[in-house]
Amino acid sequence: MEVSREQQAIREFADARDWGRFHTPKNLAMALAGEAGELLALFQWLTPEQSSEIMDTESADHVRDELADVFIYALRLSDVLDVDLGAAVASKLKKNASRYTVHDSFGNAEKR
Amino acid sequence: MEVSREQQAIREFADARDWGRFHTPKNLAMALAGEAGELLALFQWLTPEQSSEIMDTESADHVRDELADVFIYALRLSDVLDVDLGAAVASKLKKNASRYTVHDSFGNAEKR
Amino acid sequence: MEVSREQQAIREFADARDWGRFHTPKNLAMALAGEAGELLALFQWLTPEQSSEIMDTESADHVRDELADVFIYALRLSDVLDVDLGAAVASKLKKNASRYTVHDSFGNAEKR
Amino acid sequence: MEVSREQQAIREFADARDWGRFHTPKNLAMALAGEAGELLALFQWLTPEQSSEIMDTESADHVRDELADVFIYALRLSDVLDVDLGAAVASKLKKNASRYTVHDSFGNAEKR
């Protein structure tokens, strides 16, 4: 998947429906969090082990759809804010590498 | 940004720290929702107009970092679940196109 | 509404269905965040002004139900963790009062 | 804890800081979801068993504070919307009792 091509498809989808005025960054951040909440709900009563096998259950399509919704809103929000996602992800991974060194964080996911 | 390349970088980051056992789908869905919540908080007291100008304020780096965190966990979760993101997004956009026809949804973002 | 009485009703509801093993603190925190996401979604495309009039629209019952769901899970989580909610709220309001003094925060909701 | 008394204390806190214009229902729903996300993050890497013992760890105060934040915003949102929380919770519990009968839902928390 190439991010900029998807962003263009999503932009055209929104433009065709005149959704620009709904798609403020504030509203898109809300929609993104709402979809992340729907994804979360699919896992809420599962044991860790059950969660690892969710794609072998009848929830699989639902998971794919909710993951796609999260991506779609995150791509749209980045586009509206004119954030270069590739650069943002690269920069954050670099920060994470110095914040969570292999030495300090081996086997330990504690937030720093 | 090419999604599969980022996923590989994130996987190597996690593997180097032996984080596999923390990265169950359930836990990653939680981390994703948590990051979506942090992104949301940056917008919570802004007017719609202020939200459109957030990248011209001192919150800009924070927004880029939180968006990156959302992406990183969404990419990681898709990788762990072995979901083909490109296919999932394409399939969801197709569903949306028939659910939200231009005819019914022009100027109207109501959820269906 | 008296909090401890509601907590007891919710506990009896869960016990009658043998839901204790699902109601770990981790799972309840997920359910709470999921319900907060559903509440959020009711507001996502509204202007600030429309959001102030939501109880005069056909969304009113939906808002009441989602707010109730948030409360029910928050009450249940507090009960399972044996947290004294009255004390926790009083202590947090006290912290907020010194963190957000009237002097510094008058007309300014910026997070500290 | 008596809900209406807490709501009044929170209202006075907000009024003293002239926060009324920030506290639209839309913004409060965002703040609530953001705090639910912070609470969630405290549990994200814990096993179910570890989550049950979180109040015996150094995260205990943090849990109490985040739970209080969730309550404070939920109480404030209900107050601003003039929703009778006791009635809303009672009505939702009644709906849940017929949706999740003991017969169908014993030992089964599946969402209906």
SS (H, E, C) chain A: CEHHHHHHHHHHHHHHCCCCCCCCHHHHHHHHHHHHHHHHHHHCCCCHHHHHCHHHCCCHHHHHHHHHHHHHHHHHHHHHHCCCHHHHHHHHHHHHHHHCCHHHHCCCCCCC
At residue C81, the pLDDT reads 98
Confidence of residue C88 (pLDDT cuts 50, 70, 90): very high
Neighbours of C108 (CB within 10 A): 13
At residue B3, the pLDDT reads 86
pTM of the shown model: 0.97
Instruction: Give the start-to-end residue ranges of the domains of chain C.
Output: 4-83
Amino acid residing at C70: V
Q: Is the pLDDT of residue A1 over 80?
A: no
**Cβ density class A38-48: b for 16+ within 10 Å, e for less:** bbbbbbbbbbb
Contact state of B44 with D34 under an 8 Å Cβ cutoff: yes
Residues of chain A with C-beta less than 8 angstroms from the C-beta of B92: 64-65, 68-69, 72
Confidence of residue D67 (pLDDT cuts 50, 70, 90): very high
Beta strands in C1-112 (DSSP E): none
Q: What would the pLDDT profile of B42-92 be if each residue is shown by its tens digit?
A: 999 999 999 999 999 999 999 999 999 999 999 999 999 999 999 999 999
Angle at the Cα of B26 from the Cα atoms of C73 and D41, rounded to 5 degrees: 60
Question: Which of B67, B69, B99 is best to mutate for the A interface (most A CBs within 10 A)?
Answer: B67
% of chain A at pLDDT higher than 70: 100
Pick the CATH number of D4-83 from 1.20.1540.10, 3.10.310.10, 1.10.287.1080, 1.10.357.10: 1.10.287.1080
The C-alpha atoms of residue C47 and residue C39 are separated, in whole angstroms, by 16
Question: Which of A22, A28, A30 is best to mutate for the D interface (most D CBs within 10 A)?
Answer: A30
Question: C80 to chain A nearest CA, in Å?
Answer: 16
Which tokens sit at C14?
A: 């869960």
ipTM: 0.96
